[in-house]
Amino acid sequence: MPLHVEGLLAIVVFYLLILFVGIWAAWKNKNSGVGGGSDQSESIMVGGRDIGLFVGGFTMTATWVGGGYINGTAEYVYLPSYGLAWAQAPFGYALSLVVGGLFFAKPMRSRGYVTMLDPFQQLYGERMGGLLFIPALMGEIFWSAAILSALGATLSVIVDININMSVMISALIAIFYTLVGGLYSVAYTDVVQLFCIFIGLWISVPFALANPAVSDIGVTAVRKVFQTPWLGKIEPADGWMWADNFCLLMLGGIPWQVYFQRVLSASSASYAQVLSFLAAFGSLSPITLLHLSHSYTNHTLAPITLLHQSHSYTSHTLTPITLLLQSHSYTNHTLTPVTLLHQSHSYSNHTLTPITLLH
């Protein structure tokens, strides 16, 4: 696959912007007089407890809206056996933020805790607090791995960078600005990232829907065209599984340190509650609409041949491929049949996310 120069430049500019904002936030925090002496650890962990509504709303939304959330939602909307009916993340995580705001945000913030484990440690002792730290740590590790994996898959599609290298570079940048500025750097870089996600997705939606390879959304919602209808359905035998997954998202989305770190960094208990509600609204992004285009796209009409010279076609890469394809002009090479790709690559459904973006 030839190097996508525009995509590479965009990634470099984005990384430099993130790094600059992270360092600037650390400098701003240092020169604000907060974080010296005994308050240093609290400044790093909860940003001095002076995060306002604007920055707080963005960083709270970024708690869930990331690479794993976006690519995972795309994959479930596309998969023929699931569809929109099984894309539960946007609504499940939004409700988890609402429940957290209603029942936990105010009490936790008003009592001045630093982590979500503080009340358990005060009530049950340090040993129990240390024991509860283990599942919390494992959850954060696996969640971070999912985000980095999604980012690596996206970069490997758009700029043809080795996925391991892209994960390492991204992790090093994030670790650097976090060590320098703590939550302040994380919060302000979240603002930049969510602006890019929100604006980028809304710009992508009309191009994805207007693509000549994409069929009418109203028709493919109820009738099989290229695959089963994208609305999906819940079989009676799967009803309990659907409910269990939804409860897992709604209730399991609450006991996370990243969520309570934002709650505890709010400038007041009332703000902590409001931030949860703002993030719930922000979690319902246009990502689901964008990824409906995967399920009613005729992939034989899209210029995916170049992509498949070096990439497998899997569902977890659907999103970056859809975006990348929007950047190509529809010349005669867009009529190249996908069967040519099969001479050297398998055409499996787990590669569909990045290919749709490339269309």
**Residue 62 DSSP SS3:** coil
Handedness of CA 95, 98, 100, 103 (dihedral sign): negative
Residue 28's φ and ψ, nearest 5 degrees, are -60, -40
Distance (Å, rounded) from C-alpha 84 to C-alpha 292? 8
Give start and end residues of each alpha helix (H) in the chain.
5-31, 40-46, 53-61, 67-78, 89-100, 106-110, 118-124, 126-158, 163-210, 217-220, 239-252, 257-265, 269-283, 287-295, 305-308, 318-325, 352-358
Q: Which sign, positive or negative, has the C-alpha torsion 329, 332, 334, 340? A: negative
Write down the pLDDT at residue 5: 77
Dihedral angle sign, alpha carbons of residues 47, 52, 54, 58: positive
Q: What contacts 296, CB < 8 A, 6 or more positions away?
A: 214, 215, 216, 217, 219, 220, 225, 226, 230
Residue 320: per-residue pLDDT: 56
Contact of 164 with 86, CB cutoff 8 Å: no
Are 94 and 254 within 8 A, CB to CB?
no
71: tokens are 């690519």
pLDDT tens for the chain, 359 residues long, are 566 777 778 888 888 898 899 888 888 877 765 555 446 677 778 877 888 899 999 999 988 887 778 877 877 877 877 888 888 888 999 999 999 999 999 999 999 999 999 999 999 999 999 999 999 999 989 988 888 887 777 777 777 777 888 888 888 888 888 888 788 888 888 888 888 888 877 787 787 777 777 777 777 777 777 777 878 889 999 999 999 999 999 999 999 999 999 999 998 999 999 999 999 988 875 555 555 555 455 545 544 433 443 444 455 555 555 555 444 433 333 333 332 223 333 333 333 333 333 33
pLDDT of residue 246: 95
pLDDT attached to residue 264: 94
The torsion angles phi and psi of 232, rounded to 5 degrees, stand at: 70, 180
pLDDT for res 244: 96
Rg (CA), the chain: 22
pLDDT number for residue 106: 94
Compute the distance between CA of residue 71 and CA of residue 77 in angstroms, rounded to an integer: 10
| pLDDT for the residue 3 | 64
